[in-house]
């Protein structure tokens, strides 16, 4: 099915590595020590780049980070949503979304997941000595629902590519990473991930199961009518990867390193459905013979 399973453990983004962004942090007022907050009031904490809801009447002088029992974290701020790997909320801003990072390490791949309303996406590496050393632009625009001539000519076009992968990037550890999205009023980005991908195994085996975990509520009332409550879904692929004899220990160490960490997994470059952001839910290895082993993986997607 493919040459192997690609796993990218994203580099952490901090205040030191995020140089600038055109997305403002204006989701809620900044928390102020002298303000009395009523139940349901929303505040923003600059240190955590998150929005919190107050749950205590007459709350004064008690910050969300110091008193987590009095505040509920609602979400990351709009600027940090696509950088927050624990949320399904997307960064949204009409017309353009721009980020500039100083990773301080070699970046070999940039992955954009959950793209919506985007006309073009540009990724650049700009080195202080050598100038622009990587510059690629992709156009994820709308597509017909089905890939047949009638749909192309007469069908309704919508959506388009929801993910883009920029890879084969040159090794410049001191370069800044620029990511620019241009689109319309519904422009949004679910996840922005970058790092150094690793390809394991000598092939993802056919027989991949692309399951989904459904969190929507579908119940019939006493009259037999369905009550529907739409909620997010999560992809749950399960598959096998053939490992060479010498790979076994290294792969087990890698699985230990990414335990309970959100990563990017790519089973094949033929379909978008085989690339996801998620965590390893189950993993086991069958030692088949002296030359080969079989890695059985089940993933749970967050996007």
Q: Give the residue with greater pLDDT, 145 vs 27.
A: 27
Q: Average the pLDDT over 46-72 and give the result.
A: 94
Non-local (6+) Cβ contacts of 261 within 8 A are 9, 279
Predicted pLDDT at 226? 76
pLDDT digits (tens, 9 = 90+) for 9-28: 999 999 999 999 999 999 99
Q: What is the pTM of this model?
A: 0.84
3-class secondary structure, 255: helix
Predicted pLDDT at 303? 59
Band of residue 124 on the pLDDT scale cut at 50, 70, 90 = very high
Q: Average the pLDDT over 243-270 and give the result.
A: 89
Band of residue 1 on the pLDDT scale cut at 50, 70, 90 = low
**How would DSSP label each residue in 170-229?**
---TT-EEEEEEEEEEEEEESEEEEE--EEESSEEPS--EEEEEE--EEEE-TTS-EEEE
pLDDT digits (tens, 9 = 90+) for 195-220: 999 999 888 888 899 988 777 777 88
pLDDT digits (tens, 9 = 90+) for 151-205: 777 777 766 778 899 999 999 999 999 999 999 999 999 999 999 999 998 888 8
Cα distance between residue 198 and residue 172, in whole Å? 18
pLDDT digits (tens, 9 = 90+) for 284-293: 998 888 778 9
């Amino acid at each position: 099915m493919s040459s192997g399973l690609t796993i990218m453990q994203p580099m952490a983004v901090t205040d030191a590595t995020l140089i600038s962004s055109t997305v403002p942090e204006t989701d809620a007022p900044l928390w102020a020590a002298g303000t009395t907050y009523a139940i349901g009031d929303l505040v923003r904490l600059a240190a955590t780049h998150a929005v919190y809801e107050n749950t205590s009447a007459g709350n004064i002088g008690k910050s969300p980070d110091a008193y987590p029992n009095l505040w509920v974290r609602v979400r990351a701020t709009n600027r940090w949503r696509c950088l927050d790997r624990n949320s399904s909320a997307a960064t949204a801003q009409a017309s353009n979304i721009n980020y500039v990072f100083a990773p301080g390490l070699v970046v070999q791949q940039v992955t954009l997941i959950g793209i919506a309303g985007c006309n073009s996406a540009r990724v650049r590496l700009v080195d202080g000595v050598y100038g622009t050393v990587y510059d690629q632009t992709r156009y994820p625009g709308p597509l017909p629902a089905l890939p047949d001539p009638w749909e192309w000519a007469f069908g309704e076009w919508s959506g388009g590519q929801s993910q883009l992968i920029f890879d084969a990037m040159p090794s410049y550890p001191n370069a800044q990473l620029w990511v620019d999205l241009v689109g319309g009023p519904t422009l949004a980005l679910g996840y922005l991930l970058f790092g150094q991908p690793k390809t394991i195994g000598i092939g993802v085996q056919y027989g991949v199961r692309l399951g989904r975990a459904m969190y929507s509520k579908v119940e019939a009332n006493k009259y037999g009518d369905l009550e529907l409550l739409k909620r997010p879904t999560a992809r749950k692929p399960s598959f096998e990867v053939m490992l060479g004899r010498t790979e076994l220990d290294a792969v087990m160490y890698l699985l230990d390193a990414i335990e309970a960490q959100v990563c990017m997994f790519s089973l094949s470059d033929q379909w978008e459905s085989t690339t996801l952001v998620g965590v390893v839910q189950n993993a086991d290895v069958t030692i088949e013979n002296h030359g080969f082993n079989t890695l059985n993986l089940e993933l749970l997607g967050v996007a």
